[in-house]
Amino acid sequence: MSALRIERTGPDSAGRMSDVHAVCFQPFWSAGEIAAMMQMPTTLGLLARKGDAVVGMALCRIAADEAELLTIGVVPEQRGQGVGEQILARGETEAASRGAGRMFLEVSTLNAAGKSLYLKSGYAQIGCRRGYYGDGSDALVLEKTLFGDGQGSGSKLITPLSE
Protein backbone atom coordinates (compact mmCIF):
# COMPACT_ATOMS: atom_id res chain seq x y z
CA MET A 1 0.00 0.00 0.00
CA SER A 2 1.02 3.65 -0.46
CA ALA A 3 3.14 5.55 2.02
CA LEU A 4 1.45 7.20 4.99
CA ARG A 5 0.74 10.93 4.70
CA ILE A 6 -0.63 13.04 7.52
CA GLU A 7 -2.33 16.25 6.39
CA ARG A 8 -3.82 19.23 8.14
CA THR A 9 -7.41 19.51 7.05
CA GLY A 10 -10.46 21.76 7.35
CA PRO A 11 -14.26 21.55 7.64
CA ASP A 12 -14.55 20.19 4.08
CA SER A 13 -13.11 16.91 5.40
CA ALA A 14 -15.67 16.56 8.19
CA GLY A 15 -17.47 13.70 6.41
CA ARG A 16 -14.27 11.68 5.98
CA MET A 17 -13.27 12.43 9.58
CA SER A 18 -16.67 11.25 10.78
CA ASP A 19 -16.41 8.04 8.72
CA VAL A 20 -13.19 7.18 10.57
CA HIS A 21 -14.66 8.21 13.92
CA ALA A 22 -17.63 5.92 13.29
CA VAL A 23 -15.45 2.81 13.01
CA CYS A 24 -13.43 3.81 16.10
CA PHE A 25 -15.98 5.06 18.66
CA GLN A 26 -19.49 4.34 19.84
CA PRO A 27 -21.22 6.78 19.94
CA PHE A 28 -19.35 8.57 17.16
CA TRP A 29 -19.22 12.22 16.15
CA SER A 30 -21.31 13.14 13.10
CA ALA A 31 -19.95 15.14 10.16
CA GLY A 32 -21.99 18.10 11.37
CA GLU A 33 -20.52 17.94 14.87
CA ILE A 34 -16.99 17.66 13.49
CA ALA A 35 -17.56 20.47 10.98
CA ALA A 36 -18.77 22.73 13.80
CA MET A 37 -15.60 21.99 15.79
CA MET A 38 -13.43 22.58 12.76
CA GLN A 39 -14.99 25.99 12.11
CA MET A 40 -13.28 27.18 15.27
CA PRO A 41 -9.82 28.66 14.70
CA THR A 42 -8.51 26.84 17.76
CA THR A 43 -9.23 23.42 16.23
CA LEU A 44 -6.55 21.47 14.38
CA GLY A 45 -7.76 18.63 12.15
CA LEU A 46 -5.44 15.90 10.91
CA LEU A 47 -6.23 13.21 8.34
CA ALA A 48 -3.94 10.24 7.74
CA ARG A 49 -3.99 8.81 4.22
CA LYS A 50 -2.43 5.98 2.32
CA GLY A 51 -3.00 6.80 -1.33
CA ASP A 52 -6.68 7.69 -1.68
CA ALA A 53 -7.66 5.79 1.46
CA VAL A 54 -8.26 7.68 4.70
CA VAL A 55 -6.78 5.55 7.47
CA GLY A 56 -6.88 7.80 10.53
CA MET A 57 -7.83 11.14 11.99
CA ALA A 58 -7.33 13.40 14.97
CA LEU A 59 -8.72 16.65 16.31
CA CYS A 60 -6.84 18.91 18.71
CA ARG A 61 -7.77 22.16 20.37
CA ILE A 62 -4.89 24.63 20.67
CA ALA A 63 -5.37 27.75 22.74
CA ALA A 64 -2.62 29.99 24.08
CA ASP A 65 0.12 27.75 25.50
CA GLU A 66 -1.99 24.61 25.95
CA ALA A 67 -3.32 21.96 23.61
CA GLU A 68 -5.82 19.16 24.07
CA LEU A 69 -6.16 16.01 22.01
CA LEU A 70 -9.93 15.84 21.48
CA THR A 71 -9.95 12.55 19.59
CA ILE A 72 -7.71 10.21 17.62
CA GLY A 73 -8.63 7.11 15.66
CA VAL A 74 -7.18 4.67 13.16
CA VAL A 75 -9.38 2.40 11.04
CA PRO A 76 -9.25 -1.16 12.43
CA GLU A 77 -7.50 -2.75 9.43
CA GLN A 78 -4.61 -0.25 9.66
CA ARG A 79 -3.93 -0.50 13.39
CA GLY A 80 -0.67 -1.75 14.84
CA GLN A 81 1.47 -0.21 12.07
CA GLY A 82 2.50 3.06 13.71
CA VAL A 83 -0.26 5.22 12.19
CA GLY A 84 -1.66 6.37 15.55
CA GLU A 85 1.79 7.17 16.86
CA GLN A 86 2.57 9.28 13.79
CA ILE A 87 -0.75 11.17 13.91
CA LEU A 88 -0.19 11.95 17.58
CA ALA A 89 3.39 13.10 16.94
CA ARG A 90 2.19 15.37 14.12
CA GLY A 91 -0.47 16.87 16.42
CA GLU A 92 2.19 17.57 19.03
CA THR A 93 4.47 19.19 16.45
CA GLU A 94 1.65 21.37 15.12
CA ALA A 95 0.60 22.36 18.64
CA ALA A 96 4.15 23.23 19.64
CA SER A 97 4.62 25.28 16.46
CA ARG A 98 1.55 27.32 17.48
CA GLY A 99 3.05 27.97 20.90
CA ALA A 100 1.55 25.19 23.02
CA GLY A 101 3.92 23.95 25.69
CA ARG A 102 1.74 21.09 26.92
CA MET A 103 -0.68 18.58 25.45
CA PHE A 104 -3.53 17.18 27.56
CA LEU A 105 -5.83 14.26 26.82
CA GLU A 106 -8.22 11.83 28.46
CA VAL A 107 -8.28 8.07 28.03
CA SER A 108 -10.50 5.40 29.54
CA THR A 109 -8.88 3.07 32.04
CA LEU A 110 -10.33 0.27 29.86
CA ASN A 111 -8.61 1.44 26.66
CA ALA A 112 -5.45 -0.68 26.62
CA ALA A 113 -4.35 0.40 23.12
CA GLY A 114 -4.85 4.09 23.88
CA LYS A 115 -3.04 3.89 27.22
CA SER A 116 -0.10 2.07 25.63
CA LEU A 117 0.12 4.57 22.78
CA TYR A 118 0.22 7.51 25.22
CA LEU A 119 2.66 5.79 27.57
CA LYS A 120 5.00 5.08 24.66
CA SER A 121 4.63 8.70 23.50
CA GLY A 122 5.75 10.14 26.84
CA TYR A 123 2.49 11.08 28.57
CA ALA A 124 2.11 11.07 32.34
CA GLN A 125 -1.04 10.86 34.44
CA ILE A 126 -2.02 14.05 36.25
CA GLY A 127 -5.57 13.20 37.28
CA CYS A 128 -8.54 10.85 37.13
CA ARG A 129 -12.21 11.58 36.42
CA ARG A 130 -14.37 8.94 38.06
CA GLY A 131 -17.16 7.48 35.91
CA TYR A 132 -16.41 9.95 33.10
CA TYR A 133 -17.40 7.72 30.18
CA GLY A 134 -20.81 6.38 29.21
CA ASP A 135 -19.75 2.83 30.10
CA GLY A 136 -18.99 3.99 33.65
CA SER A 137 -15.22 3.77 33.23
CA ASP A 138 -12.87 6.34 34.68
CA ALA A 139 -10.91 8.78 32.52
CA LEU A 140 -7.19 9.15 33.13
CA VAL A 141 -6.10 12.73 32.52
CA LEU A 142 -2.69 12.73 30.88
CA GLU A 143 -0.20 15.44 30.07
CA LYS A 144 2.97 15.75 28.03
CA THR A 145 5.39 18.64 27.95
CA LEU A 146 5.97 19.56 24.32
CA PHE A 147 9.07 21.64 24.91
CA GLY A 148 12.21 20.51 26.70
CA ASP A 149 13.00 16.87 27.30
CA GLY A 150 9.66 15.55 26.00
CA GLN A 151 9.35 13.16 28.91
CA GLY A 152 6.14 14.59 30.39
CA SER A 153 5.89 16.90 33.36
CA GLY A 154 7.28 15.21 36.42
CA SER A 155 6.36 18.14 38.64
CA LYS A 156 2.63 17.48 38.34
CA LEU A 157 2.84 13.73 38.25
CA ILE A 158 0.34 12.06 40.56
CA THR A 159 0.65 8.48 39.34
CA PRO A 160 3.00 7.12 36.70
CA LEU A 161 0.97 5.73 33.79
CA SER A 162 1.39 2.00 33.86
CA GLU A 163 0.49 -0.57 31.23
Ligand X SMILES: CC(C)(COP(=O)(O)OP(=O)(O)OC[C@H]1O[C@@H](n2cnc3c(N)ncnc32)[C@H](O)[C@@H]1OP(=O)(O)O)[C@@H](O)C(=O)NCCC(=O)NCCS
Of 120 and 156, which has the nearer Cβ to ligand X? 120
Report the relative pairing of strands 53-63 and 66-74 from DSSP bridges. antiparallel
Of 111, 132, 133, 141, which lies in the binding site for ligand X, with binding defined by CB under 6 A? 111
Binding mask 51-80 for ligand X (x = CB under 6 A): ---------------------xxx----xx
The answer for 115, left when phi > 0, alpha when psi is -120 to 50, beta otherwise, is alpha
Helix 112-120 to helix 83-97 angle (10° resolution) is 50
24 is a site residue for ligand X (CB under 6 A): yes
95 is a site residue for ligand X (CB under 6 A): no
48 is a site residue for ligand X (CB under 6 A): no
DSSP secondary structure, 129-154, as one string: ETT-STTSPPEEEEEEESSTTSS--G
**Amino acid in the structure at residue 75:** V
91 is a site residue for ligand X (CB under 6 A): no
By CB under 6 A, name the binding residues for ligand X: 24-25, 72-74, 79-85, 107, 111-114, 116-117, 120
